[in-house]
Amino acid sequence: MRLKIAAVLAVTILCLGWVLWGIDPSVVAVSLGDFRWAYMLVVLAAYAGAHALRVVRLRAILGRHVPFVRLLSILSIGYLAINVVPLRMGEFVRPTLLAEKEGIPFGAGLAAIFVERLVDMLMLLGMMLLVSFAVELPAGRIVVEGIDVLQAGQKAVGSLVLVGVVGLAVLLLVGEPLLRLTDRLPGGGFLRRFREGILTLARRPLALGAVLGTSVVIWSVTVLAVYLTLLAFPGLPATAGNALLVWTVTLTGMTVVPTPGFFGGFEASCSAGLVMLGADADRARTFAVLLHLGQFGFTVGAGLFFLVWEGLSLRDVVGRSRVSAERGAA
């Protein structure tokens, strides 16, 4: 495990080094000097609004009345873990806290997180299609290192969505015969609880519609925050369409290269999208770092606040979540 973590951290450092290598300090200084910092107050308000909407969405997926502040705390601590713990091990923190704090079975909580991720992949795929049809791309496409980012992203994300949907369909349609076979295997009982969590949402079509609608608003608010940050940077191509394109390319890079905190992949894809739009490379990289630090700082700040509020240790929470995952697979 330590070797895997070391390898992931090494890739993160290499990606960041590749992005920041050779950047002109004078351009960074001028960019930061011209930056309209007052815009960040509105940007942070947008982040807070999107964060609150994620709480509403998760509660709709769970189908249980969990107090808003309690669910906000669980979600914030979970996102903190996702951003600072390597190898996506932080994904198990929210299901673990839901089980410990609210008595929601671990399998049902993990099913809710799976649905949340699947919906986000659908949103990303939708944004890719919207960019393709609604935004005038340079030379009709975005090419980074000889790769058409949007086309490659559509294939990769589309494949993930397809696998997820097909897997859910098999689990739901085959049902009990399949579960009787898997009950004998390690993790079989967990698969049964996971299916129950999915069925809970499937039986509530209105809730599913609310989840999709809330997701659209969440990502619209996030694109608005990116647009406002572009406006705060004089000299960058600040339009709503360009903000959508930059965020879509950035999300694609984060999905393909999920480094700890998404450092490296975020900056590389974000700056590449801006450069393809005609932005100065050093100014684009400065923007990418500042945008990422704003989002990362908000996520970490919210998570640390609720860790202190709950009197928890991140190391202990991650350790317990790992034990919960191992038990679920046992």
Terminal-residue alpha carbon distance, the chain: 19
* 159 vs 105, residue with greater confidence: 105
CA distance 319 to 326: 11
- Quote the Cα angle for 229-231-236, to 5°: 100
- Name the amino acid, one letter, at 83: N
* 174 vs 238, residue with greater confidence: 238
The strand ranges marked E within the chain are: 143-144, 147-148
Supply the pLDDT for residue 140. Answer: 47
Supply the pLDDT for residue 124. Answer: 83
Is the pLDDT assigned to residue 188 strictly greater than 60?
Answer: no
What is the average per-residue pLDDT within 295-324? 90
pLDDT digits (tens, 9 = 90+) for 231-274: 998 888 888 988 998 998 888 878 776 777 777 778 888 888 88
Is the pLDDT assigned to residue 99 strictly greater than 50?
Answer: yes
Average pLDDT of the chain to the nearest whole number: 79
Q: Hey, how many other C-beta atoms are within 10 angstroms of the C-beta on 77?
A: 27
Is the pLDDT assigned to residue 217 strictly greater than 60?
Answer: yes
Judged by average pLDDT, the poorest of 19-23, 109-113, 204-208 is 19-23
Is the pLDDT assigned to residue 202 strictly greater than 60?
Answer: yes
What is the average per-residue pLDDT within 274-287? 85
CA distance 137 to 147: 15
Question: Could you give phi then psi for residue 147, rounded to 5 degrees?
Answer: -110, 130
The winner for highest mean pLDDT among 39-53, 83-97, 125-139 is 39-53
Structure token pair of residue 56: 């509403």
Sign of CA dihedral 203, 209, 214, 220: positive
Residues 6+ apart with CB under 8 A from 204: 63
Supply the pLDDT for residue 1. Answer: 45
Supply the pLDDT for residue 86. Answer: 67
pLDDT digits (tens, 9 = 90+) for 118-166: 888 888 878 877 776 666 665 545 555 555 656 665 566 666 666 666 7
Supply the pLDDT for residue 3. Answer: 58
CA distance 162 to 113: 17
Sign of CA dihedral 186, 190, 194, 195: positive
Q: What is the DSSP letter of 235?
A: T
Q: Hey, how many other C-beta atoms are within 10 angstroms of the C-beta on 224?
A: 19
What is the average per-residue pLDDT within 213-219? 94
